[in-house]
Amino acid sequence: MARSSRLDDIPGLPARRAALRLLDAVLRRGEPLELALHGAAQGLAPADRALVHAIAAEALRHLPDLDALIDRATRQPLPGDAKARMVLRIALIQVLALGTAPHAAIATALPLVDGGPRKLVHGVFGTVTRAQPVLPDPPALPQEVVARWAEQWGEAMPEAAAQAFGARPPVDITLRDEGETALWAERLGGTSMAPGHVRLPEGTAIPDLPGFAEGAWWVQDIAASCPARLLGPGEGRVVLDLCAAPGGKTMQLAAAGWRVAAVDQSKKRLERLRENLERTGLSADIVQADLRQWQPGEQADAVLLDAPCSATGIYRRHPDVLHRIGPRQIAELAELQAALLDRAAEWVKPGGVIVYATCSLERAEGETQLAAFLGRRPDFAAVPAGTNELPEGVPPTPQGWVRTLPDTLEGRGGTDGFFVARLIRATTRV
């Protein structure tokens, strides 16, 4: 215990130890990076927490490239979950991506080996850094992800995904009043691809911008704005926004004149939704509930189900999904989505509309899911999305779905990967 305390006196070591815990939580236990950060960095100052996040996120972004460097410097490959490999990833990413001096990186790395092969770690680190390698741009995607996406979408898709992965994602905002689109585009120096949307210049500091504190707009990727766009003006009708937090779609719907019931299981995420509503001056009924047990008091005019999914469509901002999501997780999530769709279908009035959406690049969570649902429920039919309802450069598919891929809005900053479908319920059961 005393030895550990003395080690933790080494400047910067507690942050590196937390980064090791965080990387282990993501890669070995499959925890989402953002959720695991709180536990891994407990007790650290905000600046150290930010460093922990940066080390782990950059290591995950460049993981195949880091492992290739490590494997070329070892006679026998280290196991994927070996502590030596994990420590080397943390040490090398600091030097190659974060600008840390090699002597500082290795000084805070060796204590993390904790009884393991210190000489091996020191030797491999020295061999790699003396060669002064440069991480490839764009970063390599994991081979299993490349194979899965190529099978679903063709060989060109993973190439486009890699290019998108290497570019900094733009910041999109959604306006509370779409009638002020031109005004805010000019005021913020951005461009617009749809009513109520502005894409901001890269590197914009969000909280300092005009209109943020006043609630005139909120941050929301342009693809994420498409589900609510397909519901159109509310005119006082009732909509259930399922899996609603942190509230981008809730605010869209409220601003469009819907009476919104926003349902989510997470108390913490609902707190953010409530804060967002207060900032924007919009209102919704907030319900904390598990959709697998919850029932609304009556059927609604519309339902928006932004279903729990693999989140592979937001890999640009969350590189951890590339390493912790595989076929098993996708299949489990698709099963959950089917169950939620079946429940949500009963909550929309005859003649009402349901919009189903996932931020996923997997057909199992989009096209295949909807085909199976329509096979089970002949009383529902697709209502194709119109070009005039969607952002410029986001065309509907031949089936009328919305499907954004890594090459969508290519040359204009790209967008997240999304699947969106709009269905109408027949007035009588078929």
Q: Which residues are catalytic?
A: 359
| Residue 253 CB neighbour total at 10 angstroms | 26
CA 7 to chain centre: 36
DSSP 317: T
Cα separation, 193 vs 167, whole angstroms: 20
> Which 3 state secondary structure label does DSSP give 215?
coil
d(CA 337, CA 324): 19
Contact 198, 192 (CB under 8 A): yes
304 and 260 Cβ atoms separated by less than 8 Å: no
Q: Give residue for tokens 């939704």.
A: 273
Q: Are 372 and 429 in contact (CB under 8 A)?
A: no
**Backbone phi and psi for residue 121, each to the nearest 5 degrees, phi listed first:** -60, -45
Task: State the Cα–Cα distance between residues 77 and 70, nearest whole angstrom.
Answer: 8
CA atoms within 13 A on the CB side of 248: 18
Q: What is the Cα–Cα distance from 10 to 30, expressed in whole angstroms? A: 30
**Omega before residue 138 within 30° of 0, cis:** yes
Alpha helix (H) residue ranges in 13-115: 13-27, 33-40, 46-61, 63-72, 83-97, 102-107, 110-113
Cα distance between residue 217 and residue 279, in whole Å: 9
Q: Are 408 and 394 in contact (CB under 8 A)?
A: yes
Q: CB–CB of 97/60 below 8 Å?
A: no
Confirm if 153 and 405 have CB atoms less than 8 A apart.
yes
